[in-house]
Structure 1
Amino acid sequence: MSQIIDTSSRAHLLDLFLGLRPDTLSLWGKMEPQQMVEHLIDQVQYTNGKKIPFLEFSEEEAKLAKQKNIYTDLKIPKNVIFGTLPDQLIYPDLPSAIKQLMTELDDFDLYFRNPETTAIHGAFGPMNYKEWIIWHSKHFTHHLSQFGLIAMT
């Protein structure tokens, strides 16, 4: 992946999200801008202690998936679908959702203050802060490119 967004660079990340408008069309997929931001909020909440994740695969399958998805340049494919889109939005508008996303990321940093802390990824198993930064960065890159906010080669 030639351009991956570093989710630990919050000022840059916020600038990218502030380029999103409610009427921004996605280049692929069915999500609308606020749905995408709310999806990221939901996913970050599994890594900041607000939601309880669980391992959906065997430890061996998770170990292999983690190696492949965290420790390689493998991209998240376009149009990949895990679940359904919610019927309703949670936040009143896109700016409120973006603000909440940044709060959730700050809470993520606080959750991982202890270097021994891990959080479970449903497919990859327990991951530490560094591994989560890699995954969040890949995940955010995927969605930012979905809305043309960054180029993905």
Structure 2
Amino acid sequence: MKLVTKIIEPQNREHLERLLLKLEKDSLPIWGKMTAQQMVEHLINQIQYTNGKKIPYCEVTEQEAHKARQINIYTDTELSRNVIFGEPLKKLLFSDLNVATHQLMSELRDFDKYFEEPGKTEIHGAFGPMTYQEWLIWHSKHFYHHLKQFGLIEGYY
């Protein structure tokens, strides 16, 4: 797999944190409507569905989930620009961008701990149950998408 699929692996977290800490309150996205802090808080929200803090559910059939997982996890398919799954958070949960970034890194550590149980899976709304390795790939693609959105990383494709 390409580097994009490894961006949130534990050995790459310091690099990820350094990239995110380059963001400033007024950093503008290359595309999309989110502010930098909304983006970081969006990532926190998504990680919480995979670290036991929020309860996920699958919104599609098992067959649809399997097909989507095969395409989105096991190929180099990249998330499209301007894909919208709801409106950005209007009310920020954290006092500032640095606090939110540090919370995101804490949520990622909790994600690792959550998957220490052998054979553990967690549900993705469109891909169904996924293993830790599959989640590392998916979260990496998702983070990569948002890092590109804010000009923090160059494309690998």
Same fold? TM cut 0.5: yes
Residue identity opposite 1:97 in structure 2: A
User: TM-score of the superposition, structure 2-length normalised?
Assistant: 0.94
Q: Deviations over 1:67-113 (max 9, x none)?
A: 00000000000000011122210001000000100000000000000
Q: Deviations over 1:98-145 (max 9, x none)?
A: 010000000000000013111100000000000000001000000000
Q: Is the 8 A contact 1:3 1:151 kept in 2?
A: no
Q: Is the 8 A contact 1:40 1:101 kept in 2?
A: yes
Superposed displacement of residue 2, structure 1: 5.9
Correspondent of 2:126 among 123, 127, 142:
123
Q: Is the 8 A contact 2:19 2:152 kept in 1?
A: yes
Provide the identity percentage: 58
Q: What is the aligned partner in structure 2 of residue 25 from structure 1?
A: 28
User: For structure 2, which runs of at least 5 residues remain unmatched after alignment?
Assistant: none
Q: Is the 8 A contact 2:42 2:89 kept in 1?
A: no
**Structure-2 separation of matches of 1:2 and 1:34:** 27
User: TM-score of the superposition, structure 1-length normalised?
Assistant: 0.97
Q: What number of residue pairs does the alignment pair up?
A: 153
**Structure-1 separation of matches of 2:89 and 2:16:** 24
Residue identity opposite 2:54 in structure 1: K
Q: What is the aligned partner in structure 1 of residue 83 from structure 2?
A: 80
Q: Do residues 6 (structure 1) and 7 (structure 2) align?
A: yes
Task: Give the 3-state SS of the residue equivalent to 2:123 in structure 1.
Answer: strand
Deviating runs (4+, > 2 A) in structure 1? none
Bigger CA drift: 18-27 or 124-133? Answer: 18-27
Superposed displacement of residue 26, structure 1: 0.3
**Structure-1 separation of matches of 2:132 and 2:25:** 31
Q: What is the aligned partner in structure 1 of residue 153 from structure 2?
A: 150
**Structure-1 separation of matches of 2:95 and 2:64:** 39
Q: Do residues 136 (structure 1) and 139 (structure 2) align?
A: yes
User: For structure 1, which runs of at least 5 residues remain unmatched after alignment?
Assistant: none
Correspondent of 1:53 among 46, 53, 56:
56
Report the RMSD for the aligned CA atoms in angstroms.
Answer: 1.2
